[in-house]
Structure 1
């Protein structure tokens, strides 16, 4: 509608999804106007867990049996109103034959005592239930699910197939591979087991039924060398695709960063520095400064602390100057000030100090320290004049 001057966006994300939260904050902070009539007004609506009354109503709607109020009380205490755990709790009661449906009577019957119901450990039982479901599946399905869990809560079919392909693998790469036709079969079996679902019409993108399922699958690979090697292998397999897909750039960087302890070759380490730097530039272009700072820190950590300024001066300077700029924009003032000092101490000339000085001027201005801001600006101009 060309005549309309208003538009409503409804964005949703999990509270624990830090990167999405940072991206949202950066987006709205950057797009704000000084004109109050043109400002973007935002309202956060927190979707909380179900309260006690909601749990009673939910259980009453699902199972109409006597004693449901006491059952609802136990269910609430066990799940704290988490809808996913609540459904899993009822399924556990059914699986343990504590809750059964009588077809001839057309109703549910609580076979166990309330004490037996109260002894169920929902959190542990849910994870055990997921684990049992996965281990009942064929090996190629389990392998596919574990790799998919390392791609995130949602993933693309083509990306998954590339992540499972051994093409161009090094000799030491883990054998986490499945034939293409087997991947399609594995996805279908996973959907039938209520572990995955298609999130689009053409079945090219899939999501886990719940983040707990993804977390459970992710933890099936022990922390340490095995996890590092798998992340490194998947990241290397996806590198070619990330050149044409900016969203994959972040996934590849994250995977390779997780597996960086397994990288011993100096050239490969420098390639990872470049990958992190590229991800940071993409984030900065999208005004996602917290994310940019995250990848810049990762890049700097890969450099030799003793020789980085002497052997890789220009790269090191660019990374620190970019980090100063990113941290100033996302309000990490103390970190920004420390990074600025590093740049000023190591810069070869006044021109290499400019980005750091501008970052410090920005944080001084943001903090309302206008006199210090002016003094620093005049001092920098005087140094340039010399």
Structure 2
């Protein structure tokens, strides 16, 4: 099927001036000096323009004059305003002014990307720590940082820069741990139900990728549990014909096993190795697949266990 690539650029100076003049209910010739500065700061990105203008109002650099009966501004002050090449700094500053509860829900949402699925929200609400997340997300929507996606009840950031600003609220040193805690929360809540729901399976696996190393080192049994979870996610990815994702999950699973895993967890090692090798072949990574299979032939206890590896090696020649 043919595809068309669209390049979305910002407004040109003339159209931007029309937008600004409409917003300020003034003539374009009067607003032109302000719109020129805004264009230099935002490159005409409409979302950046609106955020920048709101910040000017908040800082008192753009205000309505009762005497003149129109909006007025200080060109020198506006020109000297630093927005670090975009509005990320402005958004971060605005978010820092929110309550700790709203900042927290923005951090949580940002960890899941541009959008947080309804299924994830529903699962998190069963955790006492996040029981009010839906209400807080609705508050964030009212603040203009996110929108609710139609009838799906998914919550989405209004712009990727808003998500970036929300994610920046988490210190870099804490990001991995933050992701890990969210993954663990989702995992434990689904585990209480008896199984991990398919619609949050990949989400949990992606969160677990962050910051699990140190904790697994401290608790080897947790490593085995995570390895089995990644096996489930990898197998599900194969069923979806997403072999690249399967390779990622199954590789993570093998990395969580102890050095003597062929002795201590033989069956799990066997399953992970053969499934990973097949996914590697499907991704075109023949070298990695053959390396895994050759390792299997040296570790397998019986001819029956070695046969699948030999068959795949023979097919690749």
TM-score normalised by the shorter chain: which range applies? 0.7 to 0.9
Q: What is the deviation of 1:191?
A: 1.9
Q: Is the 8 A contact 2:83 2:90 kept in 1?
A: no
Q: TM-score, normalised by structure 2?
A: 0.78
- The answer for the alignment partner of 1:47 in structure 2 is 7
Which one of 14, 35, 50 corresponds to residue 56 of structure 1?
14
Offset from partner CA, 1:71-110 (integer Å, 9 cap, x none): 555544433454432332333334344444568877654x
For structure 1, the residue ranges without an aligned partner over 5 or more in a row are 1-40, 168-176, 362-375, 377-386
Q: What is the deviation of 1:260?
A: 0.8
Q: Which has the higher contact order (CA 8 A, sep 6+)?
A: 1
Q: Distance in 2 between matches of 1:329 and 1:76?
A: 48
Name the SS for the 2:9 alignment partner: coil
Q: Distance in 2 between matches of 1:325 and 1:61?
A: 56
Q: What is the deviation of 1:275?
A: 1.6
Which one of 227, 246, 251 corresponds to residue 273 of structure 1?
227
Call closer, same or farther: CA 1:71–1:290 in 2, change over 3 Å.
farther
- Say which structure is richer in helix: 2
For structure 2, the residue ranges without an aligned partner over 5 or more in a row are 22-26
- The answer for the alignment partner of 1:259 in structure 2 is 211
1:339-358 correspondence to structure 2 within 5 Å: 339-347=289-297, 348=300, 349=303, 350-354=306-310, 356-357=312-313
- The answer for the alignment partner of 2:255 in structure 1 is 301
Q: Is the 8 A contact 1:283 1:291 kept in 2?
A: yes
- The answer for the alignment partner of 1:324 in structure 2 is 277
Call closer, same or farther: CA 1:284–1:108 in 2, change over 3 Å.
farther
Q: Distance in 1 between matches of 2:276 and 2:4?
A: 29
Q: Is the 8 A contact 2:105 2:133 kept in 1?
A: yes
- The answer for the alignment partner of 2:268 in structure 1 is 315
Q: Is the 8 A contact 1:149 1:214 kept in 2?
A: yes
- The answer for the alignment partner of 1:88 in structure 2 is 51
1:69-218 correspondence to structure 2 within 5 Å: 74-101=37-64, 108-109=71-72, 111-113=73-75, 116-123=77-84, 126-156=87-117, 159-160=120-121, 162-163=123-124, 166=127, 177-178=129-130, 180=131, 182-201=132-151, 204-218=153-167
Q: What is the deviation of 1:351?
A: 0.8
Q: What is the deviation of 1:184?
A: 4.7
Q: Distance in 1 between matches of 2:29 and 2:96?
A: 37
Q: Distance in 2 between matches of 1:74 and 1:293?
A: 50
Q: What is the deviation of 1:284?
A: 1.8
Point out the more displaced range, 73-82 or 185-194: 73-82
Call closer, same or farther: CA 1:73–1:148 in 2, change over 3 Å.
same
Q: What is the deviation of 1:249?
A: 0.3
- The answer for the alignment partner of 1:250 in structure 2 is 202
- The answer for the alignment partner of 2:24 in structure 1 is none
